[in-house]
């Protein structure tokens, strides 16, 4: 930055991408564990080499969004000849034991949503960004009988990822949803108004308050018949929209 500004003068700097990762021992991850992940991206790819599991990818990384990869770094190093990684890992490395890398590629869209834009902003908020990525964007869970995956407990292996030294003691960053939410509500409102008016007419209601009261009774009855709580349906929609 000093070199460029010494030639061009004052320059407005913007960060377009940042890659964050941590390496760890002791996580016996395989392809059968893919459904234990809860991710805000819908795309998920499993990588295998001659039926041997080598990694997972979440998201596509396109359009400035987030992509995560979890892969066997020891195997990749063997194939690429980057045999200097054990020296980088130092005394924590246990020879002969697989090292898994958890890596996030963060594009401009997410950085804007969490309020960072310049290289200085990004460097100052790296720990909070790691907190957001490992607390909210991607998690690894302990399966239970609960049909709602977001209520599964965080697995110990992922707690170690969350607590990586990169994070320090930072809490995760919050995304800025105001514009996105208000736009979605505006698009939804005409249909919502029409459905409520139709329901009110069929149920014999005369006012908005009366319509909402009668509709709520119908939804309570639906909960009892279907066995699915309306609160769970809301939570699923929040997760699908990246709001939970």
pLDDT digits (tens, 9 = 90+) for 57-87: 999 877 668 999 999 998 888 888 887 888 8
| 51: in domain | yes
Residues 88, 143: one domain?
A: yes
At residue 178, the pLDDT reads 47
At residue 89, the pLDDT reads 87
Domain boundary pick from 162, 192, 223: 162
At residue 177, the pLDDT reads 52
At residue 242, the pLDDT reads 63
| 168: in domain | no
| 148: in domain | yes
At residue 181, the pLDDT reads 58
pLDDT score of 51 more than 90: no
Residues 158, 188: one domain?
A: no
Find the helix packing angle between 230-240 and 208-226, rounded to 10°. Answer: 90
Dihedral sign computed on CA atoms, order 167, 170, 174, 175: negative
Residues 26, 143: one domain?
A: yes
Residues 182, 73: one domain?
A: no
Residues 82, 135: one domain?
A: yes
Residues 187, 153: one domain?
A: no
Domain boundary pick from 162, 193, 216: 162
Residues 155, 196: one domain?
A: no
Rounded Cα distance between 2 and 165, Å, is: 29
Is residue 1 within 8 Å of residue 99, measured between CB atoms? no
**Structure tokens belonging to residue 95:** 């020879």
pLDDT score of 42 more than 50: yes
Residues 23, 116: one domain?
A: yes
pLDDT score of 167 more than 90: no
Residues 136, 186: one domain?
A: no
Is residue 111 within 8 Å of residue 147, measured between CB atoms? no
Task: Record the pTM.
Answer: 0.68
Range of the domain at 81: 11-162
pLDDT score of 155 more than 60: yes
Residues 77, 186: one domain?
A: no
| 3: in domain | no
pLDDT score of 179 more than 70: no
* 3-state secondary structure labels for all residues of the chain: CHHHHHHHCCCCCCCCEEEEEEEECCCCCCHHHHHHEEECCCCEEEEEECCEEEEEEECCCHHHCEEEEEEEHHHHHHHHCCCCHHHHHHHHCCCCCCCEEEEEEEEHHHHHHCCCCCHHHHHHCHHHHHHHHHHHHEEEEECCCCCCHHHCEECHHHHHHHCCCCCCCCCCCCCCCHHHHHHHHHHHHHHHHHHHHHHHHHHCCCCHHHHHHHHHHHHHHHHHHHCCCHHHHHHHHHHHCCCC
pLDDT score of 2 more than 90: no
For all residues of the chain together, what is the average pLDDT?
Answer: 86
At 236, the pLDDT band (50, 70, 90 cuts) reads confident
| 173: in domain | no
pLDDT tens-digit series, residues 15-35: 889 999 999 988 889 888 999
pLDDT score of 201 more than 90: yes
At residue 197, the pLDDT reads 93
Total tally of structural domains belonging to the chain:
2
Residues 125, 88: one domain?
A: yes
Domain boundary pick from 110, 130, 162: 162
| 147: in domain | yes
Weakest-pLDDT range from 111-125, 151-165, 206-220: 111-125
Residues 88, 182: one domain?
A: no
Rounded Cα distance between 70 and 175, Å, is: 24
| 171: in domain | no
């Amino acid at each position: 930055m000093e070199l460029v500004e010494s030639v061009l003068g004052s320059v407005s700097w913007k960060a377009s991408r940042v890659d964050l990762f941590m390496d760890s021992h002791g996580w016996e991850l395989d392809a059968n564990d893919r459904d234990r992940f809860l991710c805000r991206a819908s795309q998920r790819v499993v990588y295998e080499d001659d039926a041997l599991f080598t990694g997972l990818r979440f998201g596509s990384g396109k359009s400035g969004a987030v992509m995560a990869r979890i892969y066997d770094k020891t195997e990749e190093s063997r194939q690429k000849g980057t045999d200097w990684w054990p020296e980088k890992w130092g005394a924590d490395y246990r020879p002969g034991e697989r090292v898994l890398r958890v890596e996030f590629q963060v594009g401009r869209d997410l950085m804007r949503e969490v309020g960072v834009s310049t290289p200085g902003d990004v460097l100052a908020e790296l720990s909070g960004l790691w907190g957001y990525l490992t607390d909210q964007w991607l998690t690894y869970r302990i399966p239970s009988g609960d049909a709602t995956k977001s209520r599964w407990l965080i697995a110990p292996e992922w707690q170690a990822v969350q607590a990586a030294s990169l994070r320090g003691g930072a809490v995760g960053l919050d995304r800025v949803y105001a514009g996105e939410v208000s736009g979605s509500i505006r698009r939804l409102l005409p249909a919502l108004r029409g459905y409520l008016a139709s329901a009110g007419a069929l149920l014999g209601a005369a006012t908005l308050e009366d319509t909402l009261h009668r509709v709520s009774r119908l939804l309570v009855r639906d909960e009892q018949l279907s066995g699915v709580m309306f609160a769970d349906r809301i939570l699923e929609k929040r997760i699908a929209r990246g709001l939970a």
